[in-house]
Structure 1
Amino acid sequence: MFHKILVPMDRSAISQQVFDEALSLAKATGASLFLLHVLSAEEEGSPDTVMPSPSLISYSQDLYEELLTNYQKRWKAFEEEGLELLRSHTSQATAAGVSAEFTQLRASPSREICNLADTWQADLILMGRRGRSGLSELFLGSVSNYVFHHAPCSVLTVQSPASKKIQSLQTEQAELPT
């Protein structure tokens, strides 16, 4: 039975569904939840990944400082949005009678999920899957794929509705007579 469920969260469309599934499972098993948000430039809605280059100083000190300040403000807002997401879901879990805690880190999502699962001694990682495949997965990577192969515990993924539609279309195309 599951006693400790780690739930990686982000701002993707599937995030609410992942939380709902985790909450439902925790209520059914009496497990506690640990909600995790990893700040990453790869996440949907993250600020630009390129910080202003110090070489701009030779061009314009004022421009460099303005760009740097703007970049820092966007990251601060990004961090606050992540914390608000975690606080909101933690409150929902607590109101439903489920013990929950959270943390937000800045690191590689794939590795940090596995590290926290190990440190917290999670029985299960319940996470979303965007459904990347082929070249998209090769070039962009897949957090869920990495976690599947490196997690110290069981992993359950919630499939995104968009990837289900893609798989359905691929199946239909494969079944068409040629």
Structure 2
Amino acid sequence: MTTISRILVPTDFSDCATRALEYAIELASKLSATIVLAHVFLPPIVYMPDGIWALPEGAPNVHDKLLEALDKLAAQTRVASSRPVETTLVEGDPAKEIVKAATHQACDLIVIGTHGRSGLSHLVLGSVAEKVVQHATCPVLSVALRK
């Protein structure tokens, strides 16, 4: 069996992501693994009538606020897990960037939350977790929110 020493935990700061992080903390503690928290965001862009894309007012602060939130979550995770915690903040398509982050961060496992959507909402919104499972080169553990 492969040794799991680095666990990537993508977060969008939702309840689903929190549940996945709780699970990852348990695993990391048992396996003496490092937790890598990742957040992927799309830049806030507004389409103007003349066809030009523009950043809304205050957009440059978005990166700083997300980094602050990620750092706060990392500090809480260090306390809860007593394990090393690293962070990565990336701009782009969530599924693609999560898969890339797992490779670049040399992670052995991805623990990702899933909303468990089905039917039309799944068709329209898709599933980041499903796309990650399809394209990741390491094992992916999908954690559903408790009902």
Alignment of 1:60-99 (within 5 A): 71-73=56-58, 75-95=59-79, 96-99=81-84
How many residues align structurally?
Answer: 143
How far apart are the structure 2 equivalents of 1:133 and 1:72? 36
**Aligned residue identity for 1:55:** D
Specify every segment of 5 or more residues in structure 2 that has no aligned partner in the other structure, as ranges: none
SS at 2:83's partner residue? coil
**Aligned residue identity for 2:77:** A
**Aligned residue identity for 2:29:** K
Alignment of 1:1-178 (within 5 A): 1-40=3-42, 51-53=46-48, 55=50, 71-73=56-58, 75-95=59-79, 96-161=81-146, 164=147
How far apart are the structure 2 equivalents of 1:80 and 1:51? 19
Quote the residue 1:60 is aligned against.
none
How far apart are the structure 1 equivalents of 2:63 and 2:15? 18
Q: Percent identity?
A: 34
Q: Structure 1 residue 54: deviation in Å?
A: 5.7
Over alpha carbons, which structure has the higher Rg?
A: 1
How far apart are the structure 2 equivalents of 1:77 and 1:129? 28
Contact 2:115 2:145 in 1 (8 A): yes
CA RMSD of aligned residues (A): 2.3
1:31-70 Cα offsets, whole Å, 9 max, x none, are 00111000137xxxxx5xx51416299xxxxxxxxxx67x
Q: Structure 1 residue 80: deviation in Å?
A: 3.2
Relative to the length of structure 1, the TM-score reads 0.71
Q: Structure 1 residue 28: deviation in Å?
A: 1.2
Contact 2:17 2:114 in 1 (8 A): no
SS at 1:11's partner residue? coil
Specify every segment of 5 or more residues in structure 1 that has no aligned partner in the other structure, as ranges: 42-46, 58-67, 165-178
Q: Structure 1 residue 77: deviation in Å?
A: 4.4
Query: By percentage of residues, which structure has more strand?
Result: 2
Contact 1:10 1:82 in 2 (8 A): no
